[in-house]
Amino acid sequence: MKSKFARILLAIAVTFTFSAFAQTGSAATPTTAAALPAAPSSAAATTTPVPNTGTKVGAINIEGAIFNCNEGRRDMETLQKKFEPKQTELKGQNDELEALKKQMSTQGDKLNDDAKASLQKSIESKQKLFDRAVQDAQEDFGNQQQEVAGRILQKMAPVIVKYAQENGFGMVIDTSKPWPQSPILMAGEGVDITKPVIDLYNTQSGVPAPSASGTTAPKPAAPKTPASTTPKPTTPKPSEPKQ
């Protein structure tokens, strides 16, 4: 539920952001300063808007563009490193809990009633605390991941609009989610503009490719937790355009 709500918020942000930038591209002069979106960069601000007269339909994986651009990869690596101490802490709690469960399994029939009840109570108490800690960590990670996505999207949106206008695209659809979660049944490689938008954004942002990760961009995911914990919530992952 948490992940679904976050995806809805991101989708709403995409809609309003693109609407704002598309309007500035086709309007002659905004009536008030408040109507202008924040300028993403000096380069974009000095570019003369191109009228949206294109007739082609393009497709872009918004999540893939956000988390596979150099800035997204860098920020996700930073976020994952930030949560490494929490992962270590959760692993320690899980190991302690598993040790108590093993003790109950191997020695439970040898313990007297009081000792067995005390051990069972300790297991249940630690299990509740552990499950809550895992849930809190996942929610915290998910919230910060969405903050990264929202911040990058605000700067990437005008880049997408600019690319679409300059290359004759009158419509750009988002293929981040597969059908039937999305109304888009399919989108071939011939209409996909994800990579050129990423390249253009990398050039504009000036952020170099993370060196530590090699050629593979890190995928956004919930912090790793031991296998015995509650399942991780689904989080946005970059994916290849659907065929």
Whether residue 234 has pLDDT greater than 70: no
CATH architecture of the domain with residue range 2-205: 2-Layer Sandwich (3.30)
Task: Please give the pLDDT value at position 207.
Answer: 92
List, for residues 107-151, the tens digit of each pLDDT value.
Answer: 888 889 999 999 999 999 999 999 999 999 999 999 999 999 999
List, for residues 154-168, the tens digit of each pLDDT value.
Answer: 999 999 999 999 999
Reported confidence tier of residue 212, pLDDT bands at 50, 70, 90: low
Amino acid symbol at 14? V
Q: What are the contacts of 36-39 at 24+ separation with CB within 8 A? A: 37/158, 38/154
- Reduce the DSSP state of residue 29 to 3 states and report it: coil
Domain locations along the chain = 2-205
Distance CA 14, CA 51 (A): 21
Tokens describing residue 139: 């929610």
- 């050129």: which residue's tokens? 196
